[in-house]
Structure 1
Amino acid sequence: MTSDFLPFALPEIGEEEIAAVVQALRSGWVTTGPKAKQFEADFADFLGGGVQAIAVNSATAGLHLGLEALGVGPGDEVITTTHTFTATAEIIRYLGADPVFVDVDPSTLCIDVTAVEAAITPRTKAIIPVHFAGRAADMQALLAVARKHGLRVMEDAAHALPTTCGGKMVGTLDSDVTVFSFYANKTITTGEGGMLVTRDPEIAKRSRVMRLHGINRDAFDRFTAKTPSWYYEIVAPGFKYNMTDIAASMGIHQLKKAHAFQQKRARVAALYDEALAGLPIIRPPHAAAGDVHSWHLYVIQLEDSVAVKRDQFVERLFAQGIGCSVHYIPLHLQPYWRDTYNLTPEMFPASQRIYERTLSLPMYSRMTESDVLRVVDAMKAALN
């Protein structure tokens, strides 16, 4: 492998973020405090639409809190896509409910709305669509199905900041809950972290209580009060899902750059689109007309005419110093989900076919045109 390795993903962290983290460390308030509160307020303002934002230590935590607040429990079913990371489904099992997996629409790589409606049973309580790679799922159709059947909807928007759907920012649609990720390779990062957003005051209240051990008051207020205020009550068996001020300090400044980061990623995607034209490659689906794709990932598929198999193709790229990944190994192929729910590839033909041909190319805001051309040159060599 070449010593000059081009990574699959890199965060773009500026001096502002570094200074803010140092300031948080020096302040003496390093856990959930004033910076986390500011990040929540800034995030709600960024989205608009009258939402409340609750900062958490991961998107997985946010998804768990959201589904718990929706009242999902043992005996319930929650419909989601097989073509996702395990976190989307594991939080259903945390609550004793059962995931019902459906296929994706091959034109969008997002959950197939027709398959969702066909999977609804008397036990179905909620639907979790995933905005794959930064392109929005067909939320208008999905929300119509949910309303028709009286179901709750929680969007897994880990890839989708600042994605739009029907001209509205993801996070401000008519779903019950939306959860974003700020993991290291996401469109903005806090290292680890996430944000739950909702318009429903009861969901917001429940999520805040459950975020920190089921305590019925804000720990930040308790520890900054100027009068004795040590008393609290545990009203539920909660979790430990709060975001630190260290992470939030990064997030405040990353959020200010979110639209600029998206524009840089869109530029990288456009360069890929142009440079890959004419190759036996299926380029990723773009956003619907008038909407914004966050371009968290740039996912290609090898055409059937390509002689080299996907795994060998990835190995050839790595041998040339090009980092890449696969999104995703579908859940129907993962031992726990496969064996627990008797899943087979034949049940998910679109996801299976996409998985066998797909890989994610390097995609991050710091990429240059020469980086893109280097990736494409390596791909041309690998195809031969």
Structure 2
Amino acid sequence: MIPYGRQSISHEDLAAVEAVLRSDWLTQGPAVPRFEAAVADYVGARQAVAVNSATSALHIACAALGVGPGSRVWTVPNTFVASANCARYCGAEVGFVDIDSRSYCIDAADLERRLQAARASASLPDVLVSVDFAGQPCDYEAIAKLKAEFGFRVIEDASHAIGATLGDLRVGALPVADITVFSFHPVKIVTSAEGGMLLTADARIADSARRLRSHGIERELTRLENKDEGGWYYEQQELGWNYRITDLQAALGASQVARIDAFLARRRALALRYDNALAALPLQRPWQRPNALSAYHLYPILLRGAEQRRQVYERLREAGIGVQVHYLPVHLQPYYRAQGFAPGDFPVAEWYADRTLSLPIYADLTDSEQDRVIATLTEVLR
């Protein structure tokens, strides 16, 4: 089976993990800050906090921004459920904004319309979780203007987008984002087996995130309420969680970051091969924002409708090609339907979800394997 995505593990990755196994530290040792520094240096961020998953990072991001009961958090339906669930973990109300029909990211025009209506009803969101879908940054120029006018904070869910750029900046250092979140799941651009990271320019947010990932415990002498207990002393200053990443995972992640440019170059080359090979087929290829460079976590195509998509999905799966659907609209999940959302609420996201199919794209996908995907897809469609 050719999967839609998978990790690429080198001898250097194995050696990095083995070195941790032979060291004195398996959990909270020196590999974690090395991983944080490697990612922060690569993207140009001031602060980085590694955790055990992007879901945990999103939860901590909401908590660090003060999201709680009575707060409102908006995101898009075209994402994994974690982009919305992070707000619910904090007791906040979740709202959605439809997506743009070309980028499949948040529709800035729909966001503006909903913000204006929310202002009229005194129900503006506190936080927007923007999603850089498939590796492409959102329209952050428009979002920045709306943020300045309406006063919400921005959590950039860049789980798909490490290495992507917008203008001259890399995702992770965009000034519009109060916090950016990366994922290091095995199908992402780089992996730490499981893992996530928050990046921010705000040292106070980073300090809060570091406490929250480890039970709300503070050990830094200058931040303790009681400084006279001794070197063993620590304080739980807020309610946190055990969201720590291990040295084993961090060592793998840091080793992977050293190859990120090669990973990105290969994904972009594969995307270009798809672009050229599929141009004559009856499908819609991914559109790319002119001032952005995607990380190509996914290569989603659009077919004529739900019936054709199911047929193509089944035929390709039977042929050993592991295509996938990204994503089922979050607002139509039973949990969110029970909160009042219904079909028709976000028509573009629903239109997209009925037609989309993600083709295999990952760094170790060979030209011959991709040619097989293209040939099989062509045969099925013709």
Q: What TM-score does the superposition give when structure 2 sets the normalisation length? A: 0.93
Which residue of structure 2 aligns with residue 336 of structure 1? 335
**Residue of structure 2 aligned with 1:355, choices 338, 353, 356:** 353
CA shift for structure 1 position 345: 2.5
Contact 2:323 2:358 in 1 (8 A): yes
Distance 1:87 1:6 in 2: 26
Which residue of structure 2 aligns with residue 137 of structure 1? 138
Distance 1:85 1:308 in 2: 23
* AA in 1 matched with 2:158: A
The SS at the match of 2:63 is helix
Which residue of structure 2 aligns with residue 168 of structure 1? 169
**Residue of structure 2 aligned with 1:108, choices 57, 79, 103:** 103
Correspondences of 1:1-384 after superposition (within 5 Å) = 5-49=1-45, 51-120=46-115, 121=118, 122-123=122-123, 124-174=125-175, 175-217=177-219, 229-286=231-288, 288-303=289-304, 309-340=308-339, 342-384=340-382
Contact 1:59 1:158 in 2 (8 A): yes
CA shift for structure 1 position 117: 2.3
Distance 1:183 1:165 in 2: 23
CA shift for structure 1 position 308: 5.4
The SS at the match of 1:309 is helix
The SS at the match of 2:155 is strand
Contact 1:188 1:251 in 2 (8 A): yes
The SS at the match of 1:359 is strand
Contact 2:219 2:233 in 1 (8 A): no
Note closer, same or farther for the CA distance 1:218–1:13 as it changes in structure 2 (3 Å cut): farther
Note closer, same or farther for the CA distance 1:325–1:279 as it changes in structure 2 (3 Å cut): same
CA shift for structure 1 position 373: 1.2
Note closer, same or farther for the CA distance 1:130–1:233 as it changes in structure 2 (3 Å cut): same
CA shift for structure 1 position 204: 0.6
Which residue of structure 2 aligns with residue 223 of structure 1? none
Contact 1:211 1:239 in 2 (8 A): yes
Q: Deviations over 1:267-324 (max 9, x none)?
A: 11011111111100100112x22432100000000136xx952112101101111101
Unaligned runs of 5+ in 1: 220-227
The SS at the match of 1:299 is strand
Distance 2:326 2:95 in 1: 20
Identical pairs, percent? 43
Q: What TM-score does the superposition give when structure 1 sets the normalisation length? A: 0.93
* AA in 2 matched with 1:260: A
Distance 1:290 1:70 in 2: 29
The SS at the match of 2:243 is coil
Distance 1:371 1:168 in 2: 33
Q: Deviations over 1:115-147 (max 9, x none)?
A: 222223334201111000001100111111011
Contact 1:133 1:160 in 2 (8 A): yes
Distance 2:150 2:73 in 1: 13
Q: Deviations over 1:6-30 (max 9, x none)?
A: 1221211101110110110110311
CA shift for structure 1 position 215: 0.6
Contact 2:6 2:188 in 1 (8 A): no
Distance 1:218 1:115 in 2: 45
Distance 2:28 2:107 in 1: 39
